[in-house]
Structure 1
Amino acid sequence: MTTLKVKIESLEQTMATAADAMKAAASQTVPVTEFSLSFPSWDALHKVLTPKRLEIVKTMTGQGALTKREVARRVGRDFKAVHADIDTLVKAGVIDTVQDGVMFPYERIHFEFEIESAA
Structure 2
Amino acid sequence: MRYAIIKIEPELAADLLAMGAAFDDALSTGNYQGEVFSFETPGALFAAITPKRWDVLNRLQGKQPMSIRELAKQLGRDVKNVHTDAIKLLDIGLLERDDAGRIYSPFAEIKTEFTLRGEAQAA
Deviation at 1:118, TM superposition (A): 6.2
Amino acid at match of 1:38: S
Residue correspondence of structure 1 range 12-27 to structure 2 within 5 A: 12-27=13-28
Identity rate, percent: 29
- TM-score, with structure 2 as normaliser: 0.86
Partner in structure 2 of residue 83 of structure 1: 83
Are 2:49 and 1:40 equivalent residues in the alignment?
no
Deviation at 1:15, TM superposition (A): 1.1
Residues 64 and 105 of structure 1 are in contact (CA less than 8 Å); yes or no, is this contact kept in structure 2?
Answer: no
Deviation at 1:73, TM superposition (A): 1.2
Partner in structure 2 of residue 53 of structure 1: 53
Residue correspondence of structure 1 range 63-74 to structure 2 within 5 A: 63-74=63-74
Count the aligned residue pairs.
Answer: 118
Partner in structure 1 of residue 107 of structure 2: 106
In structure 1, stretches of 5+ residues that fail to align are: none
- TM-score, with structure 1 as normaliser: 0.88
In structure 2, stretches of 5+ residues that fail to align are: none
Residues 23 and 33 of structure 2 are in contact (CA less than 8 Å); yes or no, is this contact kept in structure 1?
Answer: no
